[in-house]
Amino acid sequence: MILTAAVLLAAVLYQVTISQFIDLNTTYIELGQTYALIAVALIYISLLITPMYFVFPALPFKPVFTKARRALGVSAFLFASLHVYLEFFKNFGGFSNLKYLTGIYLYAFLFGAIALLILTVMAVTSFNYAVKKMGKYWKIIHRFIYLAGFLIVFHSFILGSDFSSISNIESWIYIISLLFLFVLEFLRLDSWVVKKYPSVKPKLIVTVLTLLVVFGIITWYTFKK
């Protein structure tokens, strides 16, 4: 159901976008950015489900959202692949133009490429047959989604036109969403640490790590500017 909706959404967005712009390059840019934002949103939702229900166990529809994570991941791979096709191959010119990438933009490309590779592996192994065949290794491999998430954050900060300035509303939506996810994950980490090391004060890790994240984001935007 989710995968079908993702394919239909991608097709509808394509038709709507090409009808709005005469210039093909502008069409590719607008559509590529839209696909990228949808991919990021789907990855964010899939990452949010586990910590959200850990911190707020009374929230409804937990089985529905938990079961939907794999489909959300595959849908994110679909939109990420479309984004790469339009932005890298159509707009940028593909591998032949990689020699022109230097400095931080080369890092952005590498971050995006590694993230797409992780999403590809996860999409290929997201079906029931792979889950049964891989056993315990399936969970280990799919934990790499956290690495992919971090790489996508940096890739977006470097190349995303919506995040060119911290004064943009899009930037603040991005930052607040990330902080919300980080706090939930840190609370989950707190619980694990306290169980393993009873002498550690709960919420201390949350405070320290949240401050580090805020400092890191502000430093990043300052450096980028």
Same domain, 218 and 179: yes
Do 81 and 124 fall within a single domain?
yes
132 and 38 co-located in one domain:
yes
Q: Are residues 40 and 138 in the same domain?
A: yes
Distance between start and end Cα atoms, the chain: 42
Q: Which of 159, 187, 206 is the last residue of a domain?
A: 159
CB 106 within 8 A of CB 99: no
Q: Are residues 197 and 140 located together in one domain of the fold? A: no
Could you tell me the residue range of the domain that residue 132 belongs to? 2-159
* DSSP code string of 116-184: HHHHHHHHHT-SHHHHHHHTHHHHHHHTTHHHHHHHHHHHHHHH-GGGS-TTSHHHHHHHHHHHHHHHH
If asked whether residues 139 and 31 sit together in one domain, one would say yes
pLDDT value, residue 144? 93
* 142-152 as b/e: b if 16+ CB within 10 A: bebbeebbebb
Contact between 141 and 125 (Cβ < 8 Å): yes
Nearest of 157, 181, 159 to residue 43 by alpha carbon:
181
What is the crossing angle of helices 145-159 and 24-55, to 10°? 140
Residue among 156, 139, 203, 134 at smallest CA distance from 40: 156
Residues 7 and 116 in one domain: yes
pLDDT higher at 193 or 51: 51
Q: Which of 135, 159, 183 is the last residue before a domain boundary?
A: 159
Taking residue 162's Cβ as centre, other Cβ atoms within 10 Å add up to: 15
30 pLDDT more than 80: yes
Instruction: Report the alpha-carbon distance of residue 108 to residue 170 in Å, rounded.
Output: 19
pLDDT at residue 160 greater than cutoff 80: no
Q: Do 153 and 44 belong to one domain?
A: yes
Distance CA 37, CA 82 (A): 12
The 10s digit of each residue's pLDDT in 163-206 is 666 677 877 888 888 888 988 888 888 888 778 777 766 666 66
Higher pLDDT, 108 or 160: 108
155 in the same domain as 180: no
Highest average pLDDT, of 65-69, 103-107, 172-176, 219-223, comes from 65-69
pLDDT greater at residue 69 or residue 204: 69
Q: 222 and 114 in one domain?
A: no
The total number of structural domains in the chain stands at 2
- The overall average pLDDT reported for the chain is 86
Both 139 and 188 in one domain: the answer is no
Same-domain status, 85 and 181:
no
